[in-house]
């Protein structure tokens, strides 16, 4: 009935997440807050893992893209489920290191990693650094040599597939700041140089074709394009690469009408393509990495707000203002992202009122949703915005010096803070 099975309504007519009453959550921890169903996150990881086990003989690794939602407890959870983690900055890597995340299961991305970030990764023996460009490759080789280490890398390849055009296309030259381009020969050149380096171990190749993708065909095409490159590398250098990293981007439900495909469908299609195409090309089947971010946490989380003023502008629209806004959820302001809004304490009632939900920031564009249907709400009601588990906490800012929200995990009838609400003192702690 809702965007995720972990969302429901209890006998009091209150919205629940993981069977926990969200109105109680708001009372216990105050608003605004983010809440996640821990079991749902675990189920999602297990489903991805199972799809690799069932469809690809377990010859792969699920690597959680932590930029979707990164905090220590989330990374501990990933490790406890046997998933790896993908980090894209020194800060995300620091978070992983601080929970003793196994270095072999860390994948380090980014199109402009700093010298310090690369050193940090080499010092921690990160299993796979995904190198974006030749400058980075040479810097990394130098760092590895200085430290007397061999560094495992992958190269990020632009496969020339744009999954965001309605009917996806294979372009000659995709315009992207990420990675080595295939068409210009840059990719092969980078691969050859990496193979020639003494302190670098090229483990394989990576591609990531976009985000919130519902269509399975672009993933399949990307896999085959990458295998063509594996074949070319084998023919020209005699080296058979081991790892194929297919990135993330699996679509989730923001609206009830969204229809994401089961992860097992994705893996079946990609596995079939990889197995048969690798055989056609005379290649052994590669070890596969997939990097889901949004699909692991997105629909497992929601945001709770308290309604302040309700402003009805006759013949224009009705604004409902809440005690958060673009600071905790910039996605509507950034990309007019769609969300379902539910009055948590009136969840059993009909959503027959059309309103605009506004935040409390000094910015007319500080909106969470426009022309959305909600129950008749009044000041003091609790408003839930669903599917905010990905790219909300991680994209939050302190705009207007509003402190960051706490994150609550619920599991089996218990709720616990995994990130505390930021205090004013903490927010000002770097000020001189
Ligand atoms: C963002 C990103 C992901 C995760 O994307 P989702 O859409 O959240 O699944 C995976 N890999 C790379 C390299 C990324 O940049």
Mean pLDDT of 359-376: 97
Bridge-based pairing of strands 367-374 and 353-358 is antiparallel
Is 123 in the same domain as 266?
A: yes
pLDDT in tens, 273-319: 999 999 999 999 999 999 999 999 999 999 999 999 999 999 999 99
- The confidence band for 70, taking pLDDT boundaries of 50, 70 and 90, is very high
What is the chain's Cα-based Rg?
A: 23
Structural domain contains residue 78: no
The three-point CA angle 389-394-395 to 5° equals 110
Structural domain contains residue 57: no
Assess contact for 41 and 297: CB atoms under 8 A. Answer: yes
* Ligand 1 pocket residue status of 208, Cβ below 6 Å: yes
pLDDT in tens, 379-429: 999 999 999 999 999 999 999 999 999 999 999 999 999 999 999 999 999
- The pLDDT score that the predictor gives to residue 171 is 58
- What distance in Å separates the CA atoms of residue 81 and residue 101, rounded to the nearest whole number? 12
**The total number of structural domains that make up the chain:** 2
Domain endpoint, select from 292, 316, 347 = 292
Helix (H, G, I), strand (E, B) or coil at 330: coil
Mean pLDDT of 253-271: 90
Domain endpoint, select from 238, 262, 292 = 292
**Domain hosting residue 359, numbered range:** 7-37+298-427
362 is catalytic: yes
Structural domain contains residue 52: no
Specify the higher pLDDT residue, 176 or 24.
24
Structural domain contains residue 176: yes
* Ligand 1 pocket residue status of 117, Cβ below 6 Å: no
Is 240 in the same domain as 133?
A: yes
Is 345 in the same domain as 383?
A: yes
Q: How far is the CA of 25 from the centre of ligand 1 (A)?
A: 30
Q: How far is the CA of 238 from the centre of ligand 1 (A)?
A: 31
Is 113 in the same domain as 259?
A: yes
Supply the pTM of this predicted model.
0.96
Averaged confidence pLDDT in the chain? 95
Is 407 in the same domain as 332?
A: yes
Domain of residue 118, CATH code: 3.20.20.10
Structural domain contains residue 120: yes
CA-wise closest residue to 261 among 247, 245, 249: 249
Domain of residue 322, CATH code: 2.40.37.10
Is pLDDT at 166 greater than 80 in this prediction? no
Catalytic: which of 70, 207, 361, 362?
362
Q: How far is the CA of 292 from the centre of ligand 1 (A)?
A: 6
Is 115 in the same domain as 249?
A: yes
Is 230 in the same domain as 340?
A: no
- The confidence band for 174, taking pLDDT boundaries of 50, 70 and 90, is low
Structural domain contains residue 60: no
* Ligand 1 pocket residue status of 210, Cβ below 6 Å: no
Is 176 in the same domain as 240?
A: yes
- What distance in Å separates the CA atoms of residue 231 and residue 398, rounded to the nearest whole number? 49
Structural domain contains residue 61: no
Q: Which atom of ligand 1 is nearest to the CA of 210?
A: 7
Assess contact for 159 and 226: CB atoms under 8 A. Answer: yes
Assess contact for 76 and 42: CB atoms under 8 A. Answer: no
Is 264 in the same domain as 357?
A: no
Domain endpoint, select from 292, 325, 342 = 292
CB neighbourhood size of 414 (10 A) = 10
Cα 125 from chain centroid?
24
Structural domain contains residue 93: no
Is pLDDT at 343 greater than 90 in this prediction? yes
- What distance in Å separates the CA atoms of residue 35 and residue 46, rounded to the nearest whole number? 20
Is 266 in the same domain as 190?
A: yes
Is 316 in the same domain as 392?
A: yes
Q: Which atom of ligand 1 is nearest to the CA of 294?
A: 8
Is 196 in the same domain as 326?
A: no
């Amino acid at each position: 009935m809702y965007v995720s099975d972990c969302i429901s309504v209890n006998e009091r007519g209150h919205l629940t997440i993981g069977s926990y009453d969200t109105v109680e959550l708001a009372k216990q921890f105050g608003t605004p807050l983010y809440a996640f169903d821990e079991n749902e996150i675990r189920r999602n990881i297990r489903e991805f893992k199972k799809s690799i086990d069932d469809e690809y003989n377990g010859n792969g690794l699920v690597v959680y893209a932590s930029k979707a939602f990164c905090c220590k407890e989330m990374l501990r959870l990933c490790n406890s489920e046997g998933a790896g983690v993908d980090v894209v900055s020194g800060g995300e890597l620091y978070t992983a290191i601080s929970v003793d995340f196994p270095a072999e299961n860390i994948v380090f991305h980014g199109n402009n990693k700093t010298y310090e970030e690369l050193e940090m990764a080499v010092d921690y023996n990160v299993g796979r650094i995904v190198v974006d460009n030749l400058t980075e490759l040479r810097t990394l080789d130098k760092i590895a040599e200085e430290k007397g280490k061999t560094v495992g890398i992958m190269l990020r390849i632009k496969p020339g597939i744009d999954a965001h055009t309605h009917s996806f296309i294979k372009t000659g030259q995709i315009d992207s700041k990420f990675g080595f381009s295939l068409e210009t020969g840059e990719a092969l050149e980078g691969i050859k140089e990496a193979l020639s380096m003494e302190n670098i171990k090229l483990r394989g190749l990576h591609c990531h074709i976009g985000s919130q993708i519902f269509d399975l065909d672009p993933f399949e095409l990307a896999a085959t394009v990458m295998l063509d490159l594996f074949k070319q590398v084998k023919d020209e250098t005699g080296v058979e690469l081991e790892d194929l990293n297919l990135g993330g981007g699996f679509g989730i439900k923001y609206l009830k009408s969204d229809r994401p495909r089961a992860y097992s469908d994705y893996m079946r299609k990609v596995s079939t393509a990889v197995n048969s195409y690798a055989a056609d090309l005379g290649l052994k089947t590669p070890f596969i990495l997939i990097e889901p971010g949004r699909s692991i946490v997105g629909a497992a989380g929601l945001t709770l707000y308290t309604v302040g003023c309700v402003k009805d502008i006759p013949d224009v629209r009705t604004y409902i203002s809440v005690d958060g806004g673009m600071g905790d959820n910039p996605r509507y302001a950034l990309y007019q992202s769609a969300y379902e809004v539910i009055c948590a304490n009136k969840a059993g009632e009909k959503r027959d009122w059309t309103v605009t939900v506004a935040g409390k920031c000094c910015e007319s564009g500080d909106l969470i949703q426009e022309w959305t249907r909600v129950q008749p709400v009044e000041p003091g009601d609790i408003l839930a915005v669903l599917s905010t588990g990905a790219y909300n906490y991680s994209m939050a800012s302190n705009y207007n010096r509003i402190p960051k929200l706490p994150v609550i995990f619920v599991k089996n009838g218990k709720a616990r803070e995994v990130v505390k609400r930021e205090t004013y003192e903490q927010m000002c702690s770097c000020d001189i």
